[in-house]
Amino acid sequence: MTGPVLNHLGKTWLELGPARTAERDGPWRAARDPHGILWLALDVEGAAANTISREVLEGLDRQLDAITQDPPKGVVIRSAKPGGFAVGADIAMFRDLKDADDVKAMLEQGHAVLDRLEALDCPTVCIVHGQALGGGFEIALACDRILAVDGASFGFPEVKLGLHPGLGGTFRLTGRIDPIEAMTLMLTGKTAHTRKAETLGIVEAVVEERHVEAAARDAITGDRKQDGPGLKDRAMTLSVARSLAARKMRSAVEDRAPRDHYPAPHALIRLWEAHGGERKAMQEAEIASFAELVTSETSRNLVRVFFLQQALKKDGDGEDGIAHVHVVGAGTMGGEIAAWCALKGKYVTLSDPDREALGGAIQRANDICKDQHLSGIETRDALDRLMPDPDELGIPRADLVIEAGPEDAEIKRKIYAEIEPRMSSTATLTTNSSSLSITDLAKNLERPRRFAGLHFFNPVSKMQLLEVVSHDSLDGTVSDRLAAFCGAIGRLPARVGDYPGYLVNRALTPYLLEAIQLIEEGHEKETIDHAAEAFGMPMGPVELADQIGLDICLHVAESLKSGLDKPMVDIPGWLSEKVENGEAGRKSGRGFYEWKDGKAQKGNVLKMDAVDEITDRLILPLLDACVECLRKGVARDSDQVDGAMIFGTGFAPFRGGPMHYAKSRGFDDVVARLNEMAESHGERFRPDPGWQDMN
C-alpha cells in the first residue's frame, strides 16, 4: 500500500480521530478523543496541499496555549490533506520579506512556536503520509516521535531556493540522526523515502493507514525509544572531527554548487562546523544565516525560478482527455517518451520497423522505473501499460500519436501518409522533431488543425520542459489539450511558435556554434567549457555538443542556417569529417573529448586570460536569439523564455533566466557589448532590433 486508504464510499480516508469533524481554527482542526489524546489536523483552507505559513505557526501557537491550560494525555499531529503532510514553506512569503531584520523577526517567532511544541510535557507524535518537506518536516521534527504511513517521504528542498532549513531543521535533524546523513540530506535537497527514512532514524515506525489510530495511541502511551547518541554522533561533537567532515562536504558541494553562485550549502556547512551539537548556538546561527540568504540575489533569483516553473505548470492545467498514446519510433527519444507516458499512467503502444529497438525500449523503461524509485507493483503496472506494437494496431485507438522517427522531413511525411488515415478523426498527431518546420510538415496532412510539434528534450525522464509547437492552422483546443497532456505527464509546457529551432534550440545553437568557432580559432576546449561553467551553465558547450551528438548538432545547425535571416558561424569542414570518421561525441566514445564510463576525459584548464571574453561570446548571442524569438512572437514573454531556457537547457538558474540576466546586467550594456563583438568578430553578433523594445 502506498498512501491513504479508501473508505467504504471510495473516498480517501485518513485517520484523524475526532479532529475530522472538529471546527477549523485557522489552518488547524483540533479535538480530543475518549483517551484524552488531542488530535491536531493541519488543513490549510482552500489549498490542495498544506504549506507552512505565518498563519500555520500562529494557529499552532494558539493550540499550544490551549494545551498548556488543559494538558492532554498526548498530542497527535497529522495532515488532513489526502496528498500528504506539507510541501514546505509558503514560498510567496519569501518574496514579501523586505530585509534581513524583517526575516529574523519572523523566524524568531516561528522558532518560539516549535520550541514550545518540543518542550510540551506530554508526548507528541507526528504521523506523516505523502511528503513532509521543508517547514512541514520541521514541524514533524519538533515532535517526540514520527510515524510514517508507507509512501511517506521527508526532505529539505531549501537548497534549491538558495536557502537551508530555517525553522530549526539544521539542529533538530543533525541532533536526531547521524549528523553526516542529516547534512547530506540538507545539502542535496533530496528526499528520503519511507524505508530510507526509517533506516536513517527519522521515522520510528511505518504503519498502515488503517492502524494509525492504534499506533498513535501506543506511541503516546509507550516508552520513547531512547537510543542515545551513537559513536559517530558523539565524535561529531568534537570540533576537529566536524572540521574534517566539513572539509569533505565542502569539496563535494563545490563541484555541484560553487560558493560564488550558490552560497546556501556553504553557509550550512559553516554553521554546522562552527556550532554542531550546540543546539542554542546553532539555532541562533541558523536564523542569522537564513535571514542573510533569503535576502540575497541568488535566493531571490531561485525563488523567481520557482514561480517561473509554477507559471509554466499553470499553462498545463486542465483535462487532456488522452488515455491512449501511440509512439512511432522506438529510438533514443521514442523509447523514453513511451516509457515516461506509461509511467505517468497513460496506456501506450509503441511501434518501430526495427524490432530490436522495441526490445531496447522496454529495457530502458525498466531502468527509468528504477531511477524514479517506483515500487515493484508500480513498475509492473507501468510496464503493463507499455505495449510493443510492431503492427501498429494501437493507431486507430490512440488519442494522441507522437512521431519520433528519424529527423528527415521525407521519412516523416511518409510516416504520416501511412498513419494519419488510420487515426481516429478526433485524435492528435504530433512530431518530436527538434528542428523541422511544423508548418511544412503540416502541409498535405488531411487534418493539419490536429497536428503540432511536441518537442521533448533528452533525456526525457530528466528534462522538465516540453515545447508545444504551433503553426498557423493549429486548432486552439488541440494546443490546450497538448499543454494539458504535458501537465498530465508531469512536464512543463512551453507553447511556442514554429520557427527554426523553435525557442530553445534556436537560442542554444549560437552558444554551441560559437564554441566550435572558438576551437577553430585555437582556444582550448577545456577553457571554453570552464568559461560557461563559471558563468553558471550546468555543462560547457563543448561537452554539451558531445552529449547531444555532433551529427545532431550539425543537422540542427544546417537546418537553422537555411531558415534564419541572420548570419551564423561558418561550420568548419573538419566537423563533418569528424562525424564521418565516427567521432560523433559521447555515443561513439569520442567527439571533442574522449568519453569513458559516461564521462568526458577533460584536461586541466591552461589558459584563463580569455575567460571573460569567451563567456560573452558564448552567452550574449544566446540572449540575442531569445530577444529575436520575442520579437518574432515565437515566445509569449520574457518570463516564458526564462522558464523554458532554465527547464529546457539548465541555463544558470541562480541568474533567474537569460532575459532576467540581461536585465540585471543592463540591456544597454548587453547591446553595446554585442555591437563591439560584431565589429571585432563578425555580423553574427549584431544585436537584434528587438532589444529596442526591452525595458
Q: What is the contact surface with ligand NAD in residues (CB under 6 A)?
A: 328-334, 352-354, 357, 404-407, 411, 415, 432-434, 456, 458, 548, 552
Residue 431 beta carbon to ligand NAD: minimum distance, rounded to whole angstroms: 7
In this structure, what DSSP letter does residue 444 have?
T
Shortest distance, position 423 Cβ to ligand NAD, whole Å: 15
Is 526 assigned a catalytic role?
no
Catalytic residue among 138, 403, 526, 583: 138
Cα–Cα distance, 118 to 139 (Å, whole number): 9
**Shortest distance, position 395 Cβ to ligand NAD, whole Å:** 12
Q: How far is CA 32 from CA 16, 72, 127, in A?
A: 11, 8, 16
Helix (H) or strand (E) holding 451: strand 451-456
Q: Closest CB to ligand NAD among 124 and 349? A: 349
Which residue shows C-alpha cell 550550512?
A: 268
Distance of alpha carbon 28 from its chain centroid, rounded? 30
- C-alpha cell at position 515: 564554441
| Cβ 324 to ligand NAD shortest distance, Å | 18
Residue nearest to ligand NAD (CB): 331
Tell me how far, at minimum, the Cβ of 475 lies from ligand NAD, in Å. Answer: 23
β-bridge pairing 24-25 and 465-469? unpaired
Asked whether 663 and 528 are in contact (CB, 8 A), the reply is no
Sequence letter at residue 3: G
CA distances from 90 to 51, 87, 102, 347, 516 (A): 5, 9, 16, 35, 44
Rounded to whole angstroms, how far apart are CA atoms 395 and 397?
Answer: 5
> By C-beta, is 63 or 547 nearer to ligand NAD?
547
**Catalytic-labelled residue, pool 158, 273, 533, 628:** 158
Q: Nearest distance from residue 481's CB to ligand NAD, in Å?
A: 21
Query: Least distance from C-beta 530 to ligand NAD, angstroms?
Result: 24
Cα(329)–Cα(366) distance, rounded to whole angstroms?
18
CB nearer ligand NAD, residue 333 or residue 519: 333
Nearer to ligand NAD, 298 or 432 (CB): 432
| Residue 81 cell numbers, joined | 490533506
Nearer to ligand NAD, 432 or 527 (CB): 432
Residue whose CB is less far from ligand NAD, 94 or 485: 485
Shortest distance, position 499 Cβ to ligand NAD, whole Å? 16
Nearest-10 Cα torsion for 554, 559, 562, 567: -50
158 is annotated as an active-site residue: yes
In angstroms, the CA 510 to CA 499 distance is: 15
Cell of 422: 488510420
3-state secondary structure of 405: coil
At 267, list the grid cell: 553557509
- Which CA distances in Å does 418 have to 275, 310, 358, 448, 463? 69, 39, 20, 15, 31
Provide the grid cell at 601. 576525459
Question: Least separation, in Å, of the C-beta of 135 and ligand NAD?
Answer: 38
Residues found in the chain: 695
Please name the amino acid found at residue 303. Answer: V
What's the DSSP call for residue 590? B
Shortest distance (Å) from residue 411 CB to ligand NAD: 6
Alpha helices in 162-228, H assignment, sequence order: 169-176, 179-188, 194-200, 212-221
Alpha carbon distances (Å) from 185 to 133, 328, 428, 458, 682: 11, 40, 43, 27, 48
Sort 246 into a burial class: Cβ within 10 Å, 0-12 / 13-18 / 19+: buried
For residues 75 and 548, which CB has a smaller minimum distance to ligand NAD in the complex?
548
Max CA pair span of the chain: 83
Q: Which is nearer to ligand NAD, 110 or 335 (CB)?
A: 335
The neighbouring-strand residues paired with 149 are: 207
Minimum distance, C-beta of residue 82 to ligand NAD, in the bound complex (Å)? 36
Query: Tell me, what amino acid is at 30?
Result: A
**Which residues, at least 6 apart from 65, have a Cβ–Cβ distance to it below 8 Å?**
none
Identify the helix (H) or strand (E) that includes residue 61. helix 54-69
Closest CB to ligand NAD among residues 468, 659: 468
Q: How far is the CB of 633 from ligand NAD (least distance, A)?
A: 23
Tell me the DSSP string of 332-395: HHHHHHHHHHHHTT-EEEEE-S-HHHHHHHHHHHHHHHHHTT--HHHHHHHHHHEEE-TT-TTG
Residues 515/545, Cβ–Cβ less than 8 Å: yes
Nearer CB in complex with ligand NAD: 329/687: 329
CA nearest to 191, candidates 294, 88, 272, 278: 88
Closest CB to ligand NAD among residues 334, 540: 334
Peptide bond into 459 cis (omega under 30): yes
Catalytic residues: 138, 158
